[in-house]
Amino acid sequence: MIHQATKNGLYINGSWTQDENQEFFESTNPATGQVEGYCAFATPFQVNQGVESAKNAFRAWKNTPLPERAIFLWKAAQLFEEKKEHLAKTMTKEMGKVLAESLGEVGVVIETCKYMAGEGRRLFGETVSSGATNRHIMMVREPVGVVACITPWNFPVALAGYKILAALISGNTVVWKPASEVALSAQIFTEVFHEVGLPKGVLNLITGAGSKVGAQLAEHSDVKVISFTGSTEVGIKLSETAAKTLKRVSLELGGKNAAIVLKDADLNLAAEAIVKAAFTTTGQRCTAASRVIVEASVKDELLSKVVAITQKLKAGNGLESGVDIGPLTNKNQLETVEKYVSFAVQNGAVIECGGKRIPSEQGYFYEPTVLSNVKNSDRVAQEEIFGPVLAFIEVNSFEEAIELNNDTVYGLSTSLFTSSLHYANRGAKEIESGLVYINNGTSNAELGVAFGGTKHSGNGHREVSHHAFDVMTEWKSIYTTY
């Protein structure tokens, strides 16, 4: 059993381990500045040990019947239920999201365990009618080998769950490198699989700086798949490195998501949904709404509704009740938000609400901010800020709205608010995003539905649904002459 606020090592080959001279980094609370625990900086030797342990465990795990593999996921679902409160509080202390969101996120992990345990039983193959007599042909899905999962801090366990559980049920073994900001949460997640008795080496946890540990995993010839969620910049670097060893790389990257509001929309519904999508998780979601593209004739009315709802949001320590949004996850995030608001104002944007830090001795708090008079070409409308900033952009037609929505390098998520069947269907077709929501916020995901983005938001792979198996398996064609 691991204990918080102690120095925790790495999880390799079924045990928690650390060197005599192990170096550690702190995990600090972005609301209070308090140190919550220490996690190990893996050495290059330990990274290799993690990969070797996964490689050695692969054959036996691959040959374990799938229903038996699924039992570990069912048991894990049960144990996550028991550890829900502890894990959720650790997440809130590490990265700041409010406790209700953290509890919801553990709920997603529990449901993903159950979903993958069930969906895995449908890893069906195919048969093909042969051109030869007395020949039978079948195609089967096979696991690929060692999968390196590299995950961000904004959803410390849900995104890891999407990757790790799809990899494990398919018969792969895993080396997980979580974001350094949330390494304590990753330890609790890993401990669950230790306690349910997952065979040694099937899941390994390696913590440390992404630029070193993550980069080493991308170079390692025994790693066969990189499943990465994070920034577009790091995703591109990983692809370049992984190409040298012909690894498969699955990328879930950034976004610059818009809510399009047409003049025939239900403005109350749109305003509620937009505020939720913009400021939940303090805007630190890949699917957060950061642009509102609105028809000019309803802009003022929508803006005043959005501002009124935003001004009611209470920022504070996510562990306290009544708090709607927590701090930014680190100082760098806070400074990035300040920088973008200042760029916007220099370019003529108007601050409708928010626009400054919330005084706090130790926490990284920033007011939820709504800007108007923004042009789609402004940096605030083109670059991912990953913070509580929402920019209003006016347009004069549906066609112009679609054009501006698509005029970004990203293509993750778009909402379209309208009461017109015609525009809803045209929007669904013309919007260049992997996720399209009609009369709904930009930030929704359901199990069983493919999740991922187009353009610079990804590289064409999808998670969450059975399409995740396309990343985690490869096809083998078997010809039998009888």
Residues that bind ligand NAP (CB under 6 A): 150-155, 159, 177-181, 209-211, 214-215, 218, 229-231, 234, 237-238, 252-255, 286, 384, 386, 412, 453, 457
Smallest separation (angstroms) from ligand NAP to the CB of 255: 6
Angular region, 152: left φ>0, alpha ψ -120 to 50, beta rest: beta
Smallest separation (angstroms) from ligand NAP to the CB of 232: 6
**Spatial distance between the Cα atoms of 314 and 213, rounded to a whole number of angstroms:** 38
How far, in Å, are 69, 92, 109, 358 from residue 203 at the CA level?
Answer: 13, 24, 16, 41
Place of tokens 């949460």: 185
* Catalytic one of 113, 149, 286, 463: 286
Smallest separation (angstroms) from ligand NAP to the CB of 445: 9
Of 154 and 405, nearer to ligand NAP (C-beta) is 154
**Spatial distance between the Cα atoms of 226 and 239, rounded to a whole number of angstroms:** 9
Smallest separation (angstroms) from ligand NAP to the CB of 341: 18
Smallest separation (angstroms) from ligand NAP to the CB of 180: 4
Of 371 and 412, nearer to ligand NAP (C-beta) is 412
Q: Is 252 assigned a catalytic role?
A: yes
Task: Give me the helices (H) in 99-228, please.
Answer: 99-119, 158-170, 183-195, 215-219
CB atoms within 10 A of CB 450: 16
Of 400, 369, 327, the C-alpha closest to 153 is: 327
Of 181 and 191, nearer to ligand NAP (C-beta) is 181
Q: How far is CA 97 from the centre of its chain?
A: 14
Q: Which two tokens stand for residue 124?
A: 């069906």
Of 90, 95, 93, the C-alpha closest to 284 is: 95
Of 121, 113, 177, the C-alpha closest to 146 is: 177
Q: Is 126 assigned a catalytic role?
A: no
**Are 74 and 144 in contact, with CB atoms under 8 Å apart?**
no
Of 52 and 252, nearer to ligand NAP (C-beta) is 252
**Are 144 and 169 in contact, with CB atoms under 8 Å apart?**
no
Of 150 and 265, nearer to ligand NAP (C-beta) is 150
* Catalytic one of 94, 105, 252, 384: 252
Which residue type sits at 406? N
Place of tokens 């400054």: 356
289-295 sheet: strands from edge to edge:
350-353, 369-372, 389-395, 289-295, 257-261, 413-417, 435-438
Smallest separation (angstroms) from ligand NAP to the CB of 64: 29
Smallest separation (angstroms) from ligand NAP to the CB of 451: 7
Of 152 and 354, nearer to ligand NAP (C-beta) is 152
Of 348 and 460, nearer to ligand NAP (C-beta) is 460
Q: Residues with catalytic annotation? A: 252, 286
